[in-house]
Amino acid sequence: MIFDVAVIGAGVMGCSTALHLARGGMQVALLDRGAICREASGVNAGTLTMQMTRAALIPYALRAHEMWLRMPEWCDGGDVLAVACPGLSVAFTEQEAAMLEERAHFRRQAGAPIELISGGRAMEIEPGLSDQVLLAGHCPIDGFTSAYLTGRAFRPALLRAGVALFEKRGVTAVDRQPHGFTLQTTAGTLRARRIVLAGGVWLEGMAAWLGITLPVKVLVNQLVVTERIRPVMRTVMGVASGLLSLKQYANGTVLIGGGWQGIGDRERGGLAVRAENFSGNVRLAAHTIPALRDARVVRAWLGLESETADALPAIGPVPGEPDAWIIGCVHSGYTSGPYFGKLLAQAIMGQEPEMPLFPMDRLLKKEAA
């Protein structure tokens, strides 16, 4: 059998692309070397944020925010327990306040409804907040999900849409054929007319299958979760520098993140928590929501996030490789993921995408033959 499309990598980007392609009538194979959404898309902080999303991505994030909140409607009941709540990004110093003003300005211009408010007003919205805040960005439409549910939410919808889901089937090489591609996998070959590379931090190696150099930076993000505690906050919190993301789940646990770096790499994954970054992250959280000083940490973990040289995504056709497409390296990519998958599927099906893609031409060099 020859599939219309083989999507390689089943994170949120690959799952959404595969689902929308299958619903558009294509025969789709979705392959992952592990289980679906068990890398960045299943271990991330689940923050749906306009305040941390780059201005260029805000229009996409706004549409994706809506998709997450209505996931059961378009994903056959699949649910990540998305919660809509206000988001606050706070500044403790004059320098952070200036940063906040500048970033809020550009994000507002891009359509994010972010207003700047005083520390006192921020405490009315978030009574648990420190009284040391000088200025805060307030976005009424942020929110969060339980990211570990992402694969469980997509799986039944993918299967019902007819996607052939191949888990624990890594792709090791891709050979171009006259009318498509042969994929070498850890369990035999598979043929497809088109391919979509959706490999997160592993996109660099995937691009190399096509003889293309696409440098992908790897961030080894740490996350920390507390024990269940009494309600201490009701917003999604961040700080202007971007070094904090904070939310409390309905079960009482508080998830602490913000891109503090751990030890690991693309080849071996996340290896170990970096102690000084762990304590820095937790102390910043407790500085922001003082009630967290009494909370005990239960667990910390690591996940790998991808970034291009200009920190903007690679989404679109692979230049010089007809029928090869790529999707990934999206900053705050969980927030915008489902919408970007939908847009790429539109392009692959020959439709004009609702919004522009992010062609990768700017990022790569084709190796000399």
Ligand X SMILES: Cc1cc2nc3c(=O)[nH]c(=O)nc-3n(C[C@H](O)[C@H](O)[C@H](O)COP(=O)(O)OP(=O)(O)OC[C@H]3O[C@@H](n4cnc5c(N)ncnc54)[C@H](O)[C@@H]3O)c2cc1C
* Binding site residues, ligand X, CB under 6 A: 8-14, 31-34, 39-41, 43-47, 170-171, 198-200, 202, 221, 223, 245, 257, 303-305, 328, 330, 332-335, 337
Task: State the nearest-atom distance from the C-beta of 244 to ligand X, in Å.
Answer: 11
Decide whether 132 or 261 has the Cβ nearer to ligand X.
261
Task: State the nearest-atom distance from the C-beta of 262 to ligand X, in Å.
Answer: 9
Asked if 28 and 166 count as a contact pair (C-beta separation under 8 A), the reply is: no
Give CA–CA dist 81/94, Å, rounded.
Answer: 37
What's the distance, Cα to Cα, between the start and end of the chain in Å?
Answer: 31
Task: State the nearest-atom distance from the C-beta of 302 to ligand X, in Å.
Answer: 7
CA 285 to chain CA centroid, Å, is 22
Q: Which residue has the tokens 């999206």?
A: 330
Give CA–CA dist 101/108, Å, rounded.
Answer: 10
Task: State the nearest-atom distance from the C-beta of 121 to ligand X, in Å.
Answer: 25
Q: Is 182 exposed, middle or buried (0-12, 13-18, 19+ CB in 10 A)?
A: middle
Decide whether 261 or 351 has the Cβ nearer to ligand X.
261
Decide whether 13 or 97 has the Cβ nearer to ligand X.
13
Per DSSP, the three-state class of 155 is helix
Decide whether 11 or 87 has the Cβ nearer to ligand X.
11
Decide whether 70 or 293 has the Cβ nearer to ligand X.
70
Listing DSSP states for 147-181 in one string gives: GGGHHHHHHHHHHHTT-EEETT--EEEEEEETTEE
> What single DSSP character describes residue 86?
E
Q: Which residue has the tokens 């520390």?
A: 119
Task: State the nearest-atom distance from the C-beta of 105 to ligand X, in Å.
Answer: 21
Task: State the nearest-atom distance from the C-beta of 131 to ligand X, in Å.
Answer: 26
- Cross-strand pairs, 181: 176, 192
Give CA–CA dist 307/287, Å, rounded.
Answer: 29
Decide whether 12 or 345 has the Cβ nearer to ligand X.
12
